[in-house]
Copies of this chain bind each other. A is one copy, B any other.
Amino acid sequence: MGTIRITYSVESELSKIDQRADALLLEQAVELPRIALKDAWVLDHILGEVTDISEVGQGQYRVILQQPWITTAANPAQFINVLFGNSSLQPDVILEDIELPQEAWNLFQGPRFGIAGLRHLAGVENQPLACTALKPMGLSPEKMALLAQTFAEGGIHFIKDDHGIADHPFCPFRQRVRACAQAVAKANNRTGNNSVYVPNLSGRPEEIMDQATYCHQLGIRAVMIAPMLVGMPVMASLVDLNLDLAIFCHPSLAGVLRMSQKAQLGKLFRWFGADAVIYPHFGGRFAYSEAVCHGLAHELRRPYADLRPAFPVPAGGIQLNRLGELLNFYGSDTIFLIGGSLLEAGNQLLARTKDFVHRLEMARQNAP
């Protein structure tokens, strides 16, 4: 039986770090002091070990634990609990990284579409892709559909609902999704493009499964979900439904400062099945650093076990005039999400949308 290798950053004094690391090990699985651990089977099969402690700065240590995979019950909720359950309540610990044993890939299949599958849906090879958001909350289904149609005519590849677009009385889920899907299909017929509409799923788990089923019935091919908001294990259930829907993940409520973005968005979301992961690009309204953004994009795309690569989707107040800079930074296996900077154009929305898409096409032609 294999083990999970979990890396934490721990603040400690040198004289206490051995004891602190051992306490972390115990906290995350058996949750008992060693003196109370008497069962031989537990000691042999459940108790993991501290395999490395390295000083990485003044009073800062990297602690690596090995926890037996069997502690996770091969279940998404208990898996997260073993990674960062009680220790998330301790301010001296940050979850930095996770490596899984072979048998974990029976639980996690990762992206089912991935970069290649999403490119196929959008009918676009070898160039960076454009994404935008339908908003603001408060528009009627008809107005949302009109926006969706304009974006599709402008050539946007993925047109997603804003993550705050739920099942509101003024814009019910089914009416909105049907209207937007029809509007995008109509525009696609006219333009010959394959713009993909990506509805936002939100609510209690049974509502999400019902929404996903409805999308599938309409022939929709991709949906968005915010795993921290609805529950990461709910995403596992959505994947288990096997509805042939690509999944965009949104980071809402993901501000758990003490879980690294690499571990949370880069690994967990991809392992749970994200085909594309939205996150705030540096320099916008959010505070992710340049290094974090670079690391996240690398993590999502790099070969890992037998998982498909997933798209990074930088977002969060990106102005259209930064696109050149972002293209240099991310390269072409990227979906660029620009919302507000298009919607500000008002009557000129179609023209500005075409400008956005045109710049991405140019990037392909200018590539070596």
Contact B38 A346 (CB under 8 A): yes
A342 to B, closest residue via Cβ: B36
Selected contact of A88 from candidates B78, B169, B252, CB within 8 Å: B252
What 1/0 mask marks residues of chain A from 45 to 88 whose CB sits below 8 Å from any chain B CB? 11100000000000000000000001101011110111011111
- Interface size on A (CB < 8 Å)? 87
A188-196, A204-212, A297-305: which lies at the interface: A204-212
What 1/0 mask marks residues of chain A from 136 to 162 whose CB sits below 8 Å from any chain B CB? 111110010000000000000000001
Shortest beta-carbon distance, A37 to chain B, in Å?
6
A23-31, A122-130, A179-187: which lies at the interface: A23-31
Contact A170 B70 (CB under 8 A): yes
A233 to B, closest residue via Cβ: B204
- What B residues does A285 contact at CB under 8 A? 23, 27, 90
Contact A203 B135 (CB under 8 A): no
Contact A164 B85 (CB under 8 A): yes
Q: Is A286 an interface residue (CB 8 A)?
A: yes
Bound together, the chains give a CA A285 to CA B93 distance in angstroms of 12
Known: A85-B253, A90-B285. A75 touches B137 (CB 8 A): no
Contact A252 B86 (CB under 8 A): yes
Contact A237 B137 (CB under 8 A): no
Selected contact of A77 from candidates B75, B137, B204, CB within 8 Å: B204
A2-10, A112-120, A254-262, A322-330: which lies at the interface: A254-262
A215-223, A224-232, A306-314, A355-363: which lies at the interface: A224-232
Contact A254 B88 (CB under 8 A): yes
Shortest beta-carbon distance, A177 to chain B, in Å?
14
Selected contact of A229 from candidates B36, B81, B202, B229, CB within 8 Å: B81
